[in-house]
Structure 1
């Protein structure tokens, strides 16, 4: 009996909203908003300079963030901007693969920065041209790990039904969580880091299309770490939780966890030609290099994506993967990210002839 073909990545593509926010402009706007606490803000302000971010994209112009916003205003912005980005990212992935929306059998939607019922893929279905019988799988709560975990889920779904086409779309509008009334270190750090964006991927098993096989995926959750990252939900919307400093945690713990992740995917450390990582921030990237035993500066694409787009949560790792796959590269790439839980997620990809 012939072994089933591994799921293949047919394309990966990205999409960005129209408003470009320069870090210097964001810093000045934040200083104005928090001006009543100028002295305290100035002590925290270096995070804007040290974040490794030059620009990021937003679904709203910068003036929007100076006005009070609650659940209704944030949700309207999420639904409008999220649907537009969903369609743009999905269409870009379809165009790259030479496919139509009507070819899609299953849609996996990953988003943790807003609430939509009906979910985003249902709202976007007619505009995009999805079939009425398409299977819909919306996923909430994965945060920054969502792009990697979502790709692993898409691969498993494709493998379960060879020949079916699975569309993964990650949409995150992180900037909508900004709180002008909440002067906290977590809110300031989020303001310095967060951007909006979307990414999509097409996966299919059972044929030889696509130059990249998805050979495995795995996750690791550290016990007793639920408070490291997440959302607080209150009357105003979703408020960011950064209860512990993530860079030192990553530097201390990710390396050992990665050994287990690789083993569960049938890999050893020496098999990996490149790690493609979610760039949560400049200090996080440095911590990842140290924890994974990489030369300083190895994660150059990650730094470029962070500088241009900021931390977009779930889509960011796929922005990195898109650029990694554009280069002539190693046979095996491991895509990895950390997110709420606190969790590390990994997905192994192998180039094929």
Structure 2
């Protein structure tokens, strides 16, 4: 592990990617640019070839496509850019890098038989009630993993302050849980959890 001059080590905690919320097909961006700039810039046709030769299928932006063609000044455009960059940084560095930590804690509480955690991740209480605390077998863990991952992502989002309200519980989890009805499609879940 690389160390700095003062002996501290550094390492990657997580690797993730995030894109702005608005997705555009390259052909739509090219058409919008042509509509807005072809008559104003005599050399536009020569420059517009970049849309065809760049081999880009889609682009992402922080605002809808028509927003970019509104008569806005630098302050408004810079604010949109910074707002989008900060949002992506939060998503990338806070939510995604915290999810594994939350997932580990949720899995540990699940293995300990914590009822509130079971409710949060969407496991029916009757399946947890008969199960003694302790490690899960490999099949039960495989069945719980998607539920735990979803719950960990929700908890990471909430750790930013989103979703706080009167329904919060002592775990820091709201009574609303992630949609986890898909647990029913796993045959034998009750057998694995109550064994």
TM normalised by structure 1 equals 0.26
Higher helix fraction (1 or 2)? 2
Looking at secondary structure, tell me which structure has more strand per residue.
1
Higher RCO (CA 8 Å, separation ≥ 6 residues): 1
With structure 2 as the length reference, what TM-score do the two structures score?
0.44
